[in-house]
């Protein structure tokens, strides 16, 4: 990596390019300034022979433009004692006169002409410049791939993928990804299980590139990693269990809309880049950095497609209830992720219920079957309430808390019905509980999320893994820029 310090010296500097009509227009002004301003240096970005009749310095490598933070050409700069004190860009006659002190400068030119974009901010070039001149930011080991080797197949053969093609994480792409956060690339976010490897922002960015994320998704990936790499969530246990579960990432806040996350039609399905790539990045990070690979530490007997990616947003704005994040102590203006250990979603159909009590009865009946209808307490669940079902409750003025309480009341199970052997099923609770009444879910073990398409009297249930200290608890984290 090449690192070049800011080469601008004290005195006057003008930066131009031939492919700029305004730069061409101000050539007579530049020629005059060469004779009247001491220590004037003219840099040209694209053609060392431009401006004609003026001695210029080549900036073809754009090092000067990069370090001088040039957005627009022409740019006129004055430095004194190593500090920039004056700058103007484009052509505004009054400003050029004020900066130079030449009262009749540019009499023959119009009052104003906008400049052109500097080559140093060209989207096709800027990522390379970040690598060349951004300093020793990237510390990860680079892997060389032979010129005759297919880079996509190379990623497969080296075991870096989840079974689907990944985007090669070139230094340019990683630097671009890092532009999505203000955090130091070498900040250690967590220890990535199961190998307990130090997980830096840079490592997260590399895998986010591989997953297909945009830079604006990176803070969401980081927050998700911060959430799952906690003792409460227990990602090591989530990997090692033979149950078919994986991190489910539920996103809240205005930022979900800013990055185009889906909270509506097909919310748990394909089609939205933000949803799929954020969830995929989290999985790749645990695989590639933490070592959580299927068939090794990852021992799921069946797994489910959500182990590739399971990430979606709650429909905060359309919800008749407070959001999941607010119910967990955060503000509606904050961006958050809540991680939950879940299986694949199952559909709840009730197209006839028009009274909230009827719908609560249906939801409770379906929720009782999570993992097994005779097993209480052990497993949490997420109820993804569709808008048409939510409307039934909203029309009755039921709050989030009322909905959950009504469902909870309908999930009190007589011990005699769920002891081992009852109903002809060996599974169940021990005989000692036959006279007790047991709840399907622990207090707070059922999470309610409003999401889905506006048409269709459906909801979805995402069953969880074992909860508490022996399993996994939901964790919510703020998304930091």
> Which helix (H) or strand (E) segment is 367 a member of?
helix 356-367
Q: Flag whether pLDDT at 4 surpasses 70.
A: no
Q: So what's the pLDDT on residue 1? A: 37
* pLDDT tens-place string over residues 344-394: 999 999 999 999 999 999 999 999 999 999 999 999 999 999 999 999 999
CA end-to-end span of the chain, whole Å? 27
**4 or 56: which carries more pLDDT confidence?**
56
Q: What is the pLDDT of residue 145?
A: 85
User: 65 φ, ψ to 5°?
Assistant: -60, -40
Cβ pair 160, 210 in contact under 8 A:
yes
Choice among 1-15, 68-82, 85-99, 118-132 with the minimum mean pLDDT? 1-15
Q: Which residues pair with 89 in a beta bridge?
A: 75
CA angle 126–128–130, rounded 5-degree value: 70
* pLDDT at residue number 2: 40
Alpha helices in 158-296 (DSSP H): 171-178, 201-211, 218-228, 235-240, 254-258, 273-288
Query: What number of helices (H) and strands (E) belong to the chain?
Result: 17, 20
Tokens standing for 276?
């799929």
Give me 155's structure tokens. 């990623």
Comparing CA positions, the residue from 121, 104, 136, 109 lying closest to residue 28 is 109
Tell how strand 437-439 and strand 412-414 pair up: antiparallel
Distance CA 353, CA 206 (A): 49
* SS3 (DSSP) at 246: strand
What is the radius of gyration, based on Cα positions, of the chain? 30
**220 has pLDDT over 50:** yes
Amino acid 226: pLDDT: 98
Please answer whether residues 349 and 310 qualify as being in contact, where contact means their C-beta atoms are separated by less than 8 angstroms: no
3-class DSSP state of 8: coil
Q: pLDDT of 432-471, one tens digit each?
A: 999 999 999 999 999 999 999 999 999 999 999 999 988 9
- Percentage of the chain with pLDDT > 90? 91
pTM of the model: 0.86
Instruction: Kindly list the structural domains of the chain, giving each domain's residue range(s) and its CATH number in brackets, ordered by start.
Output: 11-133 (3.40.30.10), 155-478 (no CATH)
Which residues partner with 119 through β-bridges? none
The C-alpha torsion from 16 through 18 and 22 to 26, rounded to 10°, is 70
Opening angle at CA 385, ends 283 and 392, nearest 5: 175
pLDDT of residue 67: 93
Q: Quote the distance between the C-alpha of residue 140 and its chain's center.
A: 21
User: Is the bond leading into 300 cis (omega within 30 degrees of zero)?
Assistant: no
Cα 372 to Cα 246, 378, 384: the distances in Å are 19, 10, 19
Environment class of 226 (CB within 10 Å of its CB; exposed 0-12, middle 13-18, buried 19+) = buried
pLDDT of residue 6: 62
Task: Quote the tokens at residue 292.
Answer: 């959580």
CB 322 within 8 A of CB 400: yes
Instruction: For 34-91, write each residue's pLDDT tens digit.
Output: 999 989 999 999 999 999 999 999 999 999 999 999 999 999 999 999 999 999 999 9
Contact criterion met (CB below 8 Å) for 454 and 264: yes
Q: What is the pLDDT of residue 134?
A: 78
DSSP 370-386: SS-TT--SSEEEEEEE-
Are 480 and 222 contacting, i.e. CB atoms less than 8 angstroms apart?
A: yes
Instruction: Evaluate if residue 410 carries a pLDDT over 50.
Output: yes
């Amino acid at each position: 990596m090449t690192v070049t310090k800011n080469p601008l010296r004290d005195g006057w500097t003008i930066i131009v390019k031939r492919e700029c009509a305004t730069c061409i227009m101000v050539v007579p002004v530049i020629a005059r300034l060469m004779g009247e301003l001491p220590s004037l240096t003219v840099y040209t970005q694209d053609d060392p022979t431009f401006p004609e009749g003026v001695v210029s310095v080549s900036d073809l490598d754009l090092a000067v433009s990069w370090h001088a933070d040039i957005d627009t050409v022409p740019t006129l700069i004055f430095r004194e004692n190593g500090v920039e004190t004056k700058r103007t860009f484009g052509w505004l006659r009054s400003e050029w006169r004020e900066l130079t002190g030449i009262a009749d400068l540019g009499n023959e030119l119009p009052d104003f002409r906008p400049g052109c974009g500097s080559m140093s901010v060209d989207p096709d070039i800027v990522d390379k410049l970040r690598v060349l001149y951004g300093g020793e930011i990237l510390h990860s080991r680079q892997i060389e791939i032979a010129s005759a080797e297919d880079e996509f197949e190379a990623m497969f053969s080296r075991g870096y993928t989840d079974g689907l093609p990944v985007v090669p994480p070139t230094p340019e792409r990683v630097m671009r990804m890092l532009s999505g956060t203000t955090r130091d690339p070498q900040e250690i976010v967590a220890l990535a299980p199961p190998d307990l490897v130090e997980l830096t922002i840079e490592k997260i960015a590399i895998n986010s590139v591989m997953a297909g994320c945009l830079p604006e998704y990176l803070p969401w990936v980081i927050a998700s990693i911060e959430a799952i790499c906690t003792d409460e969530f227990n990602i090591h246990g989530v990997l090692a269990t033979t149950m078919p579960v994986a991190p489910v990432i539920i996103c809240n806040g205005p930022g979900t809309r800013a990055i185009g996350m889906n909270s509506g039609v097909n919310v748990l399905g394909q089609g939205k880049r933000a949803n799929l790539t954020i969830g995929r990045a989290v999985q790749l990070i645990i695989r590639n950095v933490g070592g959580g690979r299927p068939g090794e530490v990852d021992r799921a007997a069946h797994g489910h497609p959500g182990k590739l990616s399971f990430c979606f947003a709650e429909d905060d704005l359309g919800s008749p209830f407070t959001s999941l994040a607010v119910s967990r102590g955060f503000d509606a203006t904050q961006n958050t992720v809540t991680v939950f250990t879940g299986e694949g979603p199952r559909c709840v159909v009730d197209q006839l219920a028009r009274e909230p009590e009827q719908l609560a009865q249906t939801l409770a009946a379906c929720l009782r079957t999570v993992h097994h209808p005779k097993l209480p307490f052990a497993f949490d669940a997420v109820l993804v309430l569709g808008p048409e079902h939510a409307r039934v409750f909203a029309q009755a003025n039921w709050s989030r808390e009322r909905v959950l309480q009504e469902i909870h009341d309908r999930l009190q199970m007589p011990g005699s019905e769920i002891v081992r052997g009852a109903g002809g099923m060996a599974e169940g609770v021990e005989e000692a509980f036959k006279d007790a009444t047991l709840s399907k879910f622990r207090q707070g073990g059922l999470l309610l999320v409003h999401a889905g398409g506006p048409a269709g009297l459906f909801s979805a249930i995402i069953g969880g893994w074992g909860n508490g200290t022996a399993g996994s608890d939901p964790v919510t984290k703020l998304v930091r820029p």
